[in-house]
């Protein structure tokens, strides 16, 4: 595989930081995923389809994660069912090697059935800060896609090169703020991303809602029975109508001139 100079530089810098920090800690606090001496190591599963936790697997053990992903009504296909595999191996308490592959995908495209393999990617994850107590673990991951696969791509924001900032928050609820113009349109994407790619649950999840100004947006946020409806169009739903932009443009828009 060919790695671009910038990607290689970022990868080497990440590893250097993780190694140097680990070397400076003479009595580092034990990570939640590290087993005590004499105990069996505990698995640290993520979600093999699209995400991985900030904390690492026990050092010296291979961890295999198998996942299933079902999707419907994508621009690329009518439906798709796929099986995915992630292999993790921690070489130190702060550095983990990863390999992710889409083993098999069954797709329905324009009433035609197709079977194929998904993409293959290799990556490395380094812990920049080992969390303790209420403080979260902070880690950085780099992934490089080496094989695109033959199956239609599921648009989950999976570029060929991706650097992910992972923050593991234990028991700390987060409620995205949505009180301003267009924020309701934006935060529903955060909620959907959390459900689809991070937590996989709707339990204890909440985001703000303000019922005004949505008529200025091409793809307005909609709440029904106390729940946001999922976005149905590509993008971040932040596009406003041209008439709105012209009307409220500062300082020459009609709204400003009328004042």
Confidence band of 138 (pLDDT split at 50, 70, 90): confident
210-235, pLDDT tens digit by residue?
888 899 999 999 999 888 888 888 88
Which is higher by pLDDT, 36 or 236? 236
> Residue 43 has what pLDDT?
63
Taking the model in full, what pTM does it have? 0.48
* Beta-bridge partner residues of 228: 223
Residues 137-164, mean pLDDT to the nearest whole number: 69
The pLDDT of residue 28 = 43
Q: How many CB atoms lie within 10 A of CB 25?
A: 11
Task: Please state the rounded mean pLDDT for residues 18-22.
Answer: 47
- Residue length, the chain? 259
Q: How far apart are CA 246 and CA 257, in angstroms?
A: 12
State the first-to-last Cα distance of the chain, in angstroms, to the nearest integer: 62
| Arithmetic mean of pLDDT over the chain | 75
**Which is more confident, 111 or 6?**
111
pLDDT in tens, 108-127: 887 888 888 888 889 999 99
């Amino acid at each position: 595989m060919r790695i671009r100079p910038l990607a290689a530089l970022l990868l080497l810098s990440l590893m250097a930081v993780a190694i140097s920090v680990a070397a400076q800690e003479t009595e580092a606090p034990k990570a939640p995923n590290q087993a005590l001496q004499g105990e069996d190591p505990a698995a640290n599963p993520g979600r093999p389809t699209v995400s991985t936790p900030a904390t690492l697997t026990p050092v010296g053990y291979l961890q295999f994660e198998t996942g299933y992903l079902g999707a419907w009504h994508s621009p690329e296909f009518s439906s798709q069912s796929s099986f995915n595999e992630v292999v993790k191996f921690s070489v130190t308490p702060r550095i983990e090697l990863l390999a992710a592959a889409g083993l098999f995908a069954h797709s329905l495209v324009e009433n035609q059935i197709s079977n194929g393999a998904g993409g293959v990617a290799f990556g490395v994850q380094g812990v920049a800060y080992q969390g303790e107590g209420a403080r979260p673990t902070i880690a950085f991951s780099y992934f490089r896609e080496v094989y695109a696969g033959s199956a239609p791509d599921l648009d989950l924001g999976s570029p060929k090169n991706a650097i992910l900032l992972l923050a593991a928050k234990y028991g700390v609820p987060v409620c995205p703020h949505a009180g301003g113009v267009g924020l309701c349109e934006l935060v529903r994407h955060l909620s959907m991303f959390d459900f689809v790619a991070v937590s996989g649950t709707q339990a204890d999840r909440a985001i703000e809602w303000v019922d005004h100004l949505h008529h200025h947006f091409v793809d307005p946020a909609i709440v029904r029975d106390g729940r946001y409806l999922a976005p149905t169009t590509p993008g971040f739903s932040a596009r406003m109508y041209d008439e709105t932009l012209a009307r409220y443009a500062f300082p020459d828009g009609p709204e400003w001139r009328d004042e």
